[in-house]
């Protein structure tokens, strides 16, 4: 039964500006996708509910697991049906952050879970079958989910044959019906991966990985030359038309996570490039709008580390460990950029107060092909930092260790046992691993994390 005040209240987790969202209360639970794809275990993937309240007796424990209906979906990224973008002037009103939208990267199936009645026990309320996604949009292999002001946006890597172009399709905010392909004029855009936007300027930016047929059975070195993307694309969100593309160096491949500044008055953001064909380095680029055009500039370069010890087959010819920067995340005050080095085994913190001149302010070593570092409490860490999620106040960083099932097996052939580690961030700079927090996923692997109430990569804002 709703009280009178509930009827007239909006969702308390929506904030008009990132500055205000930073004052939100700390999260008490987090949702983490767990997957068995690639482990040889024939079980459905699941959403793990983890207690992250330090005062709770269940702190750092999985308090519930909600299984998918089928085996082999490969849960990967996921998101909320609605978020702070609902406060944008043109947003649809009366929405609540209530449903988790969980696509299968391999199956292209979308699960919708309701977290309202019992946040610790998400309830499956709808499944969108791959056939419906293909019929409405032509797309498959679903990746990023963002809650937009006018619908739920989901990116897709390719078409039903596993080739390109990949793109974005939309779900209705209220019924979750697929509305169809988003792009009206895509120009020469072919590869797809991540996307995000600057809402008041109505600019969307998209990035490039590769088509499903290139990536699904593992990384093949001969494909690196010409079957992986190296561009970002800028789109007019109203006309749904590509207006510019910027190539991030002819030698670079795999342009992945897009992190626009949260302050919507600043039309700029960061993106990571996984590998350079020249020297295996990873890089982070700043894209920005200046002098009437979109531009990008490399602001961080992380070199490969030469070594001959304990290299997986795929790296033996190079006699080096590439950093493999596979995820980045930006704090809500746009002050710190967090970077995961999935090859070497580090989580780094850069002060990006001056986005053109980032300064390294913190490093922790976790797992890795190079470091093989264990958790400070003694837990063995397979894999290395991969997905990063930052709490709204910027004090806590949650890190998981799986990249993508078939690639996990190539880079960590000894096997990856899923984990979530929490790293405490000093507001002045500096990182420290929380010794009391270690979530063991056993044989399953862990990928994206979402914080109840929102986090640094879930919400978009229309006000500074």
**Contact residues for other proteins, defined by CB under 8 A:** 7-10, 12, 14-17, 19-20, 23, 87-94, 149-150, 173-174, 199-202, 238, 264-265, 462-464
Kindly state the smallest distance separating residue 179's Cβ from other proteins, in Å. Answer: 13
**Encoded tokens for 160:** 């039903």
Kindly state the smallest distance separating residue 201's Cβ from other proteins, in Å. Answer: 7
Pairing of strands 231-236, 203-206: antiparallel
Q: Is 444 exposed, middle or buried, given 0-12, 13-18 or 19+ CB atoms closer than 10 A?
A: buried
Rounded CA separation 325/341 (Å): 5
Kindly state the smallest distance separating residue 463's Cβ from other proteins, in Å. Answer: 6
CB 280 within 8 A of CB 254: no
- Residue among 172, 213, 221 nearest 191 (CA): 213
- Residue among 86, 150, 84, 139 nearest 109 (CA): 139
Kindly state the smallest distance separating residue 152's Cβ from other proteins, in Å. Answer: 14
CB 352 within 8 A of CB 338: no
- Closer CB to other proteins, 15 or 139, in the complex: 15
Kindly state the smallest distance separating residue 4's Cβ from other proteins, in Å. Answer: 11
- Closer CB to other proteins, 15 or 285, in the complex: 15
Kindly state the smallest distance separating residue 212's Cβ from other proteins, in Å. Answer: 33
- Closer CB to other proteins, 89 or 317, in the complex: 89
- Closer CB to other proteins, 199 or 299, in the complex: 199
- Closer CB to other proteins, 92 or 395, in the complex: 92
- Closer CB to other proteins, 20 or 373, in the complex: 20
Residues 6+ apart with CB under 8 A from 460: 83, 84, 85, 88, 146, 147, 148, 196, 197, 199, 262, 264
Q: Which residues of 242-261 are buried (b: 16+ CB within 10 A; e: fewer)?
A: bebebebbeebbbbbbbbbb
């Amino acid at each position: 039964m709703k009280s009178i005040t509930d009827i007239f209240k909006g969702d308390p987790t929506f904030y008009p500006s990132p500055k205000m969202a930073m004052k939100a209360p700390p999260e008490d639970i987090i949702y983490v996708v767990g997957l068995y794809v690639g482990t040889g275990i024939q079980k459905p993937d699941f959403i793990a509910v983890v207690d992250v309240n330090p005062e709770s007796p269940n702190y750092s424990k999985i308090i519930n697991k909600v299984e998918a209906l089928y085996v082999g979906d490969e849960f990967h990224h996921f998101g909320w049906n609605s978020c702070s973008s609902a406060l944008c002037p043109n947003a649809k009103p009366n929405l609540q952050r209530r449903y988790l939208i969980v696509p299968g990267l391999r199956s292209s199936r979308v699960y919708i879970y309701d977290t309202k009645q019992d946040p610790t026990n998400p309830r499956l309320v709808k499944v969108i079958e791959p056939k419906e996604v293909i019929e409405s949009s032509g797309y498959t292999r679903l990746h990023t989910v963002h809650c937009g002001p006018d619908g739920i946006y989901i990116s897709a890597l390719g078409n039903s044959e596993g080739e390109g172009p990949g793109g974005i399709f939309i779900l209705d905010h209220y019924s979750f019906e697929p509305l169809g392909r988003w792009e009206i004029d895509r120009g020469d855009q072919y590869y797809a991966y991540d996307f995000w936007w600057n809402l008041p300027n109505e600019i969307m930016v998209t990035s490039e990985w590769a088509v499903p047929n290139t990536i699904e059975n593992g990384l093949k070195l001969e494909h690196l030359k010409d079957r992986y993307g190296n561009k970002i694309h800028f789109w007019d969100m109203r006309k749904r038309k590509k207006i510019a593309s910027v190539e991030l160096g002819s030698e670079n491949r795999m342009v992945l996570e897009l992190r626009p500044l949260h302050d919507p008055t600043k039309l700029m953001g960061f993106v990571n490039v996984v590998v350079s064909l020249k020297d295996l380095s990873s890089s982070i680029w700043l894209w920005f709008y200046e002098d009437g055009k979109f531009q990008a500039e490399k602001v961080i370069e992380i070199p490969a580390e030469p070594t001959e010890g304990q290299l997986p087959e795929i790296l033996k010819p190079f006699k080096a460990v590439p950093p493999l920067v596979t995820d980045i995340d930006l704090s809500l005050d746009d002050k710190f950029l967090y970077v995961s080095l999935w090859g070497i085994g580090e989580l780094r913190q850069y002060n990006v107060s001056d986005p053109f001149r980032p300064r390294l302010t913190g490093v922790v070593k976790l797992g890795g092909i190079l470091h093989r570092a264990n958790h400070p409490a003694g837990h063995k860490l397979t894999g290395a930092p991969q997905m990063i999620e930052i709490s709204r106040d910027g004090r806590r960083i949650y890190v998981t260790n799986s990249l993508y099932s078939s690639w996990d097996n190539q880079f960590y052939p000894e096997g990856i046992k899923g984990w979530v580690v929490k790293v405490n961030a000093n507001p002045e700079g500096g990182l420290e691993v929380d010794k009391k927090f270690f979530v063991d996923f056993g044989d399953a692997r862990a990928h994206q994390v979402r914080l109840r109430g929102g986090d640094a990569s879930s919400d978009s804002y229309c006000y500074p």
